[in-house]
């Protein structure tokens, strides 16, 4: 009877009453007196094999979860990189908007001064016309 779990093979020889546990090509012989051993019974060996198989299945599940998490991480890193680019664009646009606001403020101030100067010039011309019309 043979049971295999990963790199471990268990073989039971019914004739000799020997349980062989092989790990990486190094067999370990366990004598089973009348198929019962103080070291390891057949039932315990089967349970151990099934336990090792379950552990191996769990390891595969964990490996799959790790792979999924790595893919999620890569996707999130891509999104973060895209967001960082957008942030840099936004910062650049905010700087440009601040400069344009300053220019608009300067132009509004210039327009106000020009309007005041224009109003003063119009007033001066009116007075000048009145003065001319009074002289005539």
pLDDT 10s digit of each residue in the chain, 136 long? 444 444 444 555 545 545 555 554 444 444 444 434 444 566 677 788 888 888 888 888 888 888 999 999 999 999 999 999 999 999 999 999 999 999 999 999 999 999 999 999 999 999 999 988 888 7
Q: What is the DSSP track for 75-100?
A: HHHHHHHHHHHHHHHHHHHHHHHHHH
Q: What is the rounded (10 degree) CA torsion for 37, 39, 40, 44?
A: 120
**Neighbouring-strand partners of residue 36:** 33
The strand order across the sheet containing 2-5 reads 2-5, 8-13, 18-23, 26-31
Cα distance between residue 95 and residue 38, in whole Å:
81
User: What's the pTM value of the predicted model, to 2 decimals?
Assistant: 0.43
Q: What is the pLDDT, as a whole number, of residue 42?
A: 67
Q: Are 18 and 7 in contact (CB under 8 A)?
A: no
Residue 9's Cβ-count burial label (10 Å; 0-12, 13-18, 19+) is middle
- At which residue do the structure tokens 């790990």 appear? 23
For residue 10, give the H/E element and its range. strand 8-13
Of the CA atoms within 13 Å of residue 91, those in its CB half-sphere come to 6
Domain residue limits, the chain: 2-105+107-111
Q: Are 6 and 21 in contact (CB under 8 A)?
A: no
Q: What is the pLDDT, as a whole number, of residue 5?
A: 46
- At which residue do the structure tokens 């299945």 appear? 57
């Amino acid at each position: 009877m043979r049971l295999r779990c990963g790199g471990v093979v268990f073989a039971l020889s019914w004739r000799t009453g020997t349980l062989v546990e092989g790990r990486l090509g190094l067999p370990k012989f366990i004598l089973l007196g009348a198929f019962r051993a103080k070291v390891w019974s057949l039932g315990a060996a089967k349970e151990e094999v099934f336990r090792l198989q379950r552990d191996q299945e769990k390891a595969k599940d964990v490996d799959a979860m790790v792979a999924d998490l790595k893919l999620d991480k890569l996707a999130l890193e891509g999104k973060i990189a895209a967001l960082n680019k957008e942030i840099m664009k936004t910062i650049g646009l905010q700087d440009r908007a601040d400069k344009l606001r300053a220019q608009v403020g300067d132009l509004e101030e210039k327009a106000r001064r020009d309007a005041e100067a224009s109003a003063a010039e119009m007033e001066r011309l009116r007075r000048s016309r009145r003065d001319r019309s009074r002289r005539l």
